[in-house]
Amino acid sequence: MLVIAPDYGLRRSLEFALEVEGFAVLSFDDVNAALASPGTAAGSCVVVDEEALLNDPLAMAAVRRFHKAVLLLVDRSRSMPDILGVRVLRKPILGNALITAIRLTDQSAGTGQPT
């Protein structure tokens, strides 16, 4: 499981929530750092906070280069167009919404095999 979030607190919170559920997690503060890491080949899903995409118009195209299911975390106040192949989850994330969304986004995560 890859997590990309510029905000350290959010990134650590996502890591913790995913690790508690048994997922192996690699986390990064930006898309380019994640792309440069050799460890990103593992895992089948990318959880991306929209803040990682805001200052780079090519960031979403870069996220697609992972060739993995994408779960995009967005602020409730912003409207987000539907993007093919991307599941959108609105923040704040309550309860088990993150894990449910991951399992819906990535079918292999739903099989009970943590990534």
Tens-place pLDDT, residues 28-61: 999 989 989 888 887 788 999 999 988 788 888 8
Average pLDDT score over residue span 62-85: 75
Q: How many domains does the chain have?
A: 1
Domain residue limits at 96? 2-111
* Cβ-Cβ contacts under 8 Å for 66 (sequence gap 6 or more): 2, 34, 35, 40, 46
Give the helix/strand (H/E) hosting 31.
helix 31-36
Whether 8 has a pLDDT exceeding 60, the answer reads yes
Residues 98/106, Cβ–Cβ less than 8 Å: no
Q: What is the pLDDT of residues 60-73, one digit of tens each?
A: 888 888 888 888 99
pLDDT at 83: 63
**For the domain that residue 87 is a member of, what is the CATH number?**
3.40.50.2300
pTM over 0.75: yes
pLDDT at 109: 39
Among candidates 81, 18, 84, which has minimal Cα distance to 4? 18
How far, in Å, CA of 42 to CA of 58, rounded? 23
